[in-house]
Each structure stands twice: as structure tokens, then as C-alpha cells.
Amino acid sequence: MIQGNRIHIFSVFMMLAGALVLLFVIAPLAGMFLHTSGSSIAEALQDTEVTHSILLTLGSAMAATLIFSLGIIPLAWLMARHTFRGKRIIQGIIDLPVVIPHSAAGIALLSVVSENAIFGKAAAGLGLSFIGTIGGVIIAMAFVSLPFLFNAARDSFESIDRRLEYAAMNLGASPAKTFFTISLPLAKNGIISGMIMMFARGMSEFGAIVIIAYYPMVTPVMIYDRFASFGLEASRPIALLFICIALIVFIIIRLFTRRRYATR
């Protein structure tokens, strides 16, 4: 009975601790809903600058995810399947954008893509520019968010039973065919989850983007700009609207992926 009471007390303590964390997350969001009128949200929806900014944010985050996944997924497979000197260093380099201040990430990118940098000059020769352009927004989003997709994809490839890959190659399948017919399909759940996380992280980025491309103005930058220029009342409806749209997008993505898994 005493042991049962101890377990009960411990469970209550854990529930209270968890409830405090949930309250910490829910309270600011609830405060936004309570202090934002429906008319102000309607005005934000009718503001073409706001709607254009939201579409730009969603589109840029999706572009960053899809474009850079073409390199991240193969790298994740290499890291999962091969052991080589310097592997841990590469892993640390990939994880670096998660731990450095994102304003510093923007400065680092600026030193590479500016018109005075080698890469920036080469891009300019091809008619490309990353300063104050959508291209700059995309690379800033990708830089800070790629570790999420990489780590998810690597873990998924590592979880695959390698005997399945060996069996396919013993039956005559090439490494490429084995990757596309065995490895990639078996790792798809983790890869899709990683892509969703990369998309989410890119969509919410502010620090790196504001250094490279204040304009065109993505929604996180617009929220800051409206707050700095006009105060809380002007920025809060946009923030709430963006949160709601982001939530709807994620629900749609989750439902879509679940239906795909259910039909297979």
C-alpha cells in the first residue's frame, strides 16, 4: 500500500511538472487569441502585403526543403552506410546551424553570397543574386533547417536491416537500384517527417533571413517590422494569422501522409 502511494504521489508530481510545461506553451498562444479581435484578423486577411508575405514564406520554405533534399538525402545515406575518417567532423558541421545564433548564420551566408565574395561573383555572372531576393530567403531557410532532415534521414537509413540490401545486390540489383527500391522506400517515413520538420523550421526563420533579405518580406520579418513600426496591436493579428495558417498546413500534410501510408 505504501509502495502504491509512492507511485501515486510520483505520478501526480510528473503530471504537475508536465502541466506546467504545457501551460508555458499554451498561455502565450491563448493570450494572443483572447486579445485579438476578429475584425483585426479580417483586416490582416484583406491586407495584400500580409497575404503575399504568407504565400512567399510557405513557398520559399517548400522550395528550400525540396531543392536541398536532393543533396541532403544522399549525404544522409552515405553517413549511415559508410565509416570513414572525418565522419564525426562532418556530422558536427551539419549540426552547427542548430547551435549558432541565426543572426550569425546570416552574417556567415552574407560573406559567401555577397557580390564581393567568390560565390556571389560567380552567381552574378550567371544572372543570380541572393541579396534582397527570394533566392536569398531560400538559402537562409535551408541553411538553418537542413540538420532536421539530415538527422531524420540518417536515422531512418541506419534503422534498415542491411541484410535486405545485401540480398537485393546478391540477386543482381545495382547499388542505385537497391537504394531506390529498398533503402529509400523503407526510410520514407523518417525522411518525410524530416522534410516536414525542415519545412517548419524554414518557415519560422527570422535571424538569418533579415540579414540577407529583409525584402522581399517573409512573414516573420513582417511581424517584426510591423511591431517595430506600429506596435503590438498592429503585429499581433499577423502573428496569429500566420500561426493558424501554419497549423492548417501541417494538419493537411499529416493527413495526406497518413492516407498514403494507409493505402500501402
Largest CA distance in the chain: 78
pLDDT tens digits, one per residue of 3-53: 555 557 888 888 999 999 999 988 988 888 888 888 888 898 899 999 999
Q: Given this model, what pLDDT does residue 35 score?
A: 84
Q: Given this model, what pLDDT does residue 12 score?
A: 85
Q: Given this model, what pLDDT does residue 31 score?
A: 85
Residue 158: how many other CB atoms lie within 10 Å = 15
pLDDT tens digits, one per residue of 83-139: 888 899 999 999 999 889 989 999 999 999 988 888 888 888 888 889 999 999 999
| Contact in structure between 131 and 158 (CB atoms under 8 Å) | no
Query: What does the alpha-carbon distance between residue 116 and residue 122 come to, in Å, rounded to a whole number?
Result: 10
Q: Given this model, what pLDDT does residue 2 score?
A: 47
pTM score = 0.87
Angle at 101 between CA 100 and CA 102, to 5 degrees: 110
Domain 38-262 superfamily per CATH: MetI-like (1.10.3720.10)
If pLDDT is split at 50, 70 and 90, which confidence band does 264 have? low
Map out the domains of the chain as residue ranges. 1-34, 38-262
